[in-house]
Amino acid sequence: MKHRGAYAAILLSTLLLPGAAMAEYSAGDEIKVLQGFKAGGGSDALAQLTQPFLRESLGVDFVNEYLPGATGAIAWTRLAKQTEADGTTISITNTPMLMTNYIMNDTITYSVDELTPIANVVTDPGIIVVPADSPYETVEEFLAAAEENPGTITVGNSGVGGDDFFSTILIEQASGISFQKVPFQGDGPSATAAMGGQIDASFNNLGNVYGHIQSGSLRPLAVFARERLSMLPDVPTLSEKGIEVVAGSSRGYSAPAGIPEEARQQLIDAFEALKTNEEFKKVAEERAMNLDIQTGDDYRQMIEDMEGQFEEIWASVKDEING
């Protein structure tokens, strides 16, 4: 991943919720949230979901600062290396990209050791979608075609290094099937290409394509989740078909390393409270955001486990990709 045309154009947005019950956050009355992608994407969707509720529990205003470029690395470098560790600045952290950035690119020098993981909030499961008029009615038909025609079934992904890119590799390794991988600049263009019949399938994330599935523009074949999803109860998991792949894109919040313990614990407590907040859960379900709240040390362990997994995956394919 290269810093091609990287820029740090900053847009500010403040989420306000008048009349909310206020608590007192020890680090101050405002929290800046760095986002490594443009407004309107998955990170911003997480901000819009969580921050009104967090504002109520912490008694702070949130200011979102958008620093798109280098697949999030501009924002995360700022967080790790250039941000005062006083609890007033945090970032939305997207995994696995948080780690695959520096696993794949030696010029990116931050690491997770320089961060304080606060909470993962959502894990957006991977999903296989095909055009509405695709000849593949089921995932069995799709996989059979790929097996009969190695390396010819075209599968879109969000770009080299993204979770969909790695999901494709995991499925190939688990099944022995090979696809023709087609990288796009994001999940949106991959889904659009599938809708237009330019590719046979898009390996995407549920939250990105759920609206297209509802409208009938895309047909879901399988999800990369441990269990079937309540919003798509008729869509099987890959595990049901003998392919043990659970994958997707997770989004949460992290702070710089070394923030005050009181602030760290207050942030963790605020996210823990979301687990039992029925209104929050209702809004998340309406937006097809699959909650997977893991806080503090559990979130750190999740990141470290994922880091090891993707180091192994990249080591197994980097010569082929870079060659």
Q: What pLDDT digit, counting tens, does each position of 98-155 carry?
A: 999 999 999 999 999 999 999 999 998 999 999 999 999 999 999 999 999 999 999 9
| Model pLDDT, residue 323 | 65
Query: Is 4 a domain residue?
Result: no
Q: Is the pLDDT of residue 41 over 80?
A: no
Query: Is 227 a domain residue?
Result: yes
Query: Is 112 a domain residue?
Result: yes
Interval 173-186 mean pLDDT? 89
List, for residues 186-213, the tens digit of each pLDDT value: 778 899 999 999 999 999 989 888 989 9
3-state secondary structure of 227: coil
Strand pairing report for 248-256 and 115-131: antiparallel
List, for residues 213-258, the tens digit of each pLDDT value: 999 999 999 999 989 998 899 999 999 999 999 899 899 999 999 9
Range of the domain at 91: 12-123+249-319
Query: Any idea which residue has 């599968």 for tokens?
Result: 155
The DSSP bridge partners found for residue 232 are 229
Out of 247, 267, 287, pick the residue that ends a domain.
247
Query: Is 70 a domain residue?
Result: yes
List, for residues 279-319, the tens digit of each pLDDT value: 999 999 888 888 999 999 999 999 999 999 899 989 988 88
Do 153 and 243 lie in a common domain? yes
Query: Is 16 a domain residue?
Result: yes
Residue 128 near residue 203, CB atoms below 8 Å: yes
| Model pLDDT, residue 23 | 63
For the domain that residue 254 is a member of, what is the CATH number? 3.40.190.150
Query: Is 5 a domain residue?
Result: no
Do 92 and 75 lie in a common domain? yes
Do 224 and 281 lie in a common domain? no
Out of 191, 218, 247, pick the residue that ends a domain.
247
| Model pLDDT, residue 201 | 98
3-state secondary structure of 258: coil
For the domain that residue 180 is a member of, what is the CATH number? 3.40.190.10
- The number of distinct structural domains making up the chain is 2
Query: Is 215 a domain residue?
Result: yes
Do 49 and 187 lie in a common domain? no
Rounded alpha-carbon distances, angstroms, from residue 306 to 123, 162, 302: 13, 13, 6
DSSP 306: H
Query: Is 175 a domain residue?
Result: yes
Do 180 and 66 lie in a common domain? no
Average of per-residue pLDDT values in the chain: 89
| Model pLDDT, residue 275 | 97
Do 78 and 226 lie in a common domain? no
Do 206 and 278 lie in a common domain? no
| Model pLDDT, residue 207 | 82
3-state secondary structure of 272: helix
Structure tokens at 167: 């999901």
Residues 32 and 290: their CA atoms lie apart, in Å, by: 25
Give the number of other CB atoms < 10 A from CB of residue 92.
Answer: 26
Out of 226, 247, 268, pick the residue that ends a domain.
247
Do 58 and 130 lie in a common domain? no
Interval 56-60 mean pLDDT? 96
Do 99 and 133 lie in a common domain? no
Do 253 and 187 lie in a common domain? no
**Helices 42-58 and 261-274, packing angle to 10 deg:** 110
Q: Is the pLDDT of residue 31 over 70?
A: yes
Do 242 and 137 lie in a common domain? yes
Q: 1-15, 161-175, 210-224, 306-320 — which is least confidently predicted?
A: 1-15
Structure tokens at 58: 């912490």
Do 38 and 130 lie in a common domain? no
Residues 178 and 167: their CA atoms lie apart, in Å, by: 12
| Model pLDDT, residue 39 | 81
> Closest Cα to residue 226, out of 214, 213, 243, 209?
243
